[in-house]
Amino acid sequence: MYNTIVVGAGFAGSVVARELAEKGEKVLIIEQRNHIGGNCYDVEDEHGVLIHQYGPHIFHTSNEAVYEYLSKFTDWYEFRHKVVANVNEKYIPVPFNLNTLKMVYGEEKAEKLKKELIDTYGEGARVPILELKKNPSKDIQEIAQFVYENIFLKYTMKQWGQRPEEVDASVTARVPVVLSYDDSYFGDKYQGMPKESFTKLFERMLDHPNITVRLETRAEDVLSIPAEGKVSFEGTPFDGKIVFTGPLDQLFDCRFGRLPYRSLEFAFEHYDKEYYQCNSVVNYTVSEDYTRITEFKYLTGQKIDGTTIMKEYPKSYDGNDGQIPYYAILNPENQALYEKYVSLLEKVPNFYLVGRLAEYKYYNMDAIVARAFEVVEQM
């Protein structure tokens, strides 16, 4: 009856489903949650404030094709995301940039430091903190040390339970030192929020006569995947394609042990005032147990009385009920364990892994959409 079964209704699963449906395939999506949208799901809370249930999501991309594709399903609220860090009650722009340099060192000294930074790395360069730390110049060392201690050390310890130099270098490189006066958190050409909501975008993407969505259904309960031989769906052999976007260890009952992930807990608070803080996101880089506070009204541009904020508390992940794996922990040992799970699929035909969980990678939304295009192309 179905040509393809897609597990997961986040960006990975939804884009693949829509593209296959457009080609005339009948697609069934099974999703364990009671809603579509994966971690990008947003919804109005009891006060009518549009919140992001699974952490703040801001769309950004330099990939024209991805931007144009998503624009078929939504208009955009133009929003260039900026972040400030609360450092001992002073608010400084993050990523650390030439504005931050001036705030920290004063005009005169900042000019001198700026010249040395630009002579070394070039105007507009985006330099990872761990690179900057390697520079032997005394002045650059001073800046690197400031940025390391006031922006990266404590935040990274909270987020990963590890020091910046212990986590994969690509992680801290996501927030480089920027040698320009641009305070934007992301360097991408296109940035914004779906005008109505992410959930509406997903509703439109999945609204296709060839797509059926079944919520509150776990892959493990309906699919059986023997190492050799046929996959079956609800006890009946299934010859079509399977696109899996969830965590691979869970699919195989964690038989080689759990794949390590970091998790988060979110604490929502509502206030009867117009705004709670000075910015959409404030990072707490030297204090507090939470990493950041998001105030949704700033992100979405929603005009409403009262405001809802969210504090993010990083947690270790042990797979207990209700815990969600949010971030793969990138290192060679974990990659080897992941590969072991992938090898279980070597003899399973027509089985595709797509997504941040299924590929054990630190993908942004746009990268997932691009990846989904690629997989559909391969098919």
Q: Which residues bind ligand UDP (CB under 6 A)?
A: 85, 94, 151-152, 155-156, 159, 171-172, 174-175, 283, 285
Nearest Cα to Cα of residue 366 among 57, 72, 82: 57
- Least distance in angstroms from the C-beta of 84 to ligand UDP: 9
Binders of ligand FAD in range 218-247 (CB under 6 A): 218-220, 245-246
Q: Coil, helix or strand for 261?
A: strand
Nearer to ligand FAD, 30 or 92 (CB): 30
Q: CA-to-CA distance for 120 and 133, rounded, in angstroms?
A: 13
**Closest distance between ligand UDP and the C-beta of residue 117, in Å?**
19
Compute the CA torsion angle 204, 205, 209, 215 (nearest 10 deg): -90
Stretch of 38-46, 151-159, 278-286, 337-345 contacting ligand FAD, by CB under 6 A: 38-46
Question: Bridge-partner residues for 295, per DSSP?
Answer: 309
Site string for ligand FAD, 289-328 (x = CB under 6 A): -------------------------------------x--
Binding-site partner at residue 365 among ligand FAD, ligand UDP, none, CB < 5 to 8 Å by type: ligand FAD
Q: Among 11-19, 110-118, 281-289, 345-353, which window interacts with ligand FAD (CB under 6 A)?
A: 11-19
Minimal CA–CA distance to 184: which of 96, 118, 309, 113?
A: 96
Q: Which of 199, 195, 196 is nearest to 79 (CA)?
A: 195
Binding mask 127-156 for ligand FAD (x = CB under 6 A): ------------------------------
In the numeric block, which tokens belong to residue 111?
Answer: 């000019």
* C-alpha pair distances (Å), 107 with each of 95, 99, 179, 184, 321: 19, 10, 15, 21, 53
| Smallest gap from residue 201 Cβ to ligand UDP (A) | 20
Residue listed under structure tokens 């031989």: 229
For residue 281, the minimal CB distance to ligand UDP (Å) is 9
Stretch (H or E) spanning 220: helix 219-222
Binding partner at 356 among ligand UDP, ligand FAD, none, C-beta below 5 to 8 Å by kind: ligand FAD
CA proximity to 190, closest of 369, 11, 365, 67: 67
Q: Write the CA distances from 233 to 9, 62, 376, integer angstroms.
A: 18, 39, 22
Residue 47 near ligand FAD by CB under 6 A: no
Q: Which of 4, 17, 20, 33 binds ligand FAD (CB under 6 A)?
A: 33
Nearest-approach distance from CB 75 to ligand UDP, in angstroms: 24
Residue 7 CA to chain centroid, in angstroms?
Answer: 19
123 touches 206 (CB < 8 A): no
Counting contacts by CB under 6 A, is residue 194 touching ligand FAD? Answer: no
For the chain, the maximum distance between any two Cα atoms, rounded to a whole number of angstroms, is 74
Q: Would strands 59-61 and 190-194 be described as parallel, antiparallel, or unpaired?
A: antiparallel
Q: How far is the CB of 190 from ligand UDP (least distance, A)?
A: 17
Q: How far is the CB of 231 from ligand FAD (least distance, A)?
A: 14
CB 17 → ligand UDP: shortest distance, Å?
25
Calculate helix-pair angle for 365-378, 11-22, nearest 10 degrees: 40
Cβ-based nearer residue to ligand FAD, 179 or 354: 354
- Of 128 and 247, nearer to ligand FAD (C-beta) is 247
Cα separation, 298 vs 275, whole angstroms: 9
Q: Does 250 bind ligand FAD (CB under 6 A)?
A: yes
Residue with tokens 């988060």: 264
Angle in degrees, CA 126, 130, 133, rounded to 5: 100
Q: Which stretch binds ligand FAD (CB under 6 A): 164-172, 282-290, 335-343, 362-370?
A: 362-370
CB distance 291 to 159 below 8 Å? yes
Interface segment toward ligand FAD; rule CB under 6 A; list 7-15, 43-51, 94-102, 297-305: 7-15
Interaction of residue 368 with ligand FAD, rule CB under 6 A: yes
Among ligand FAD, ligand UDP, none, residue 93 binds (CB under 5-8 Å by kind): none
Beta bridge partners of 314: 264
Binding stretches for ligand FAD (CB under 6 A): 7-13, 30-33, 38-40, 55-58, 218-220, 245-246, 250, 264, 326, 355-357, 363-366, 368
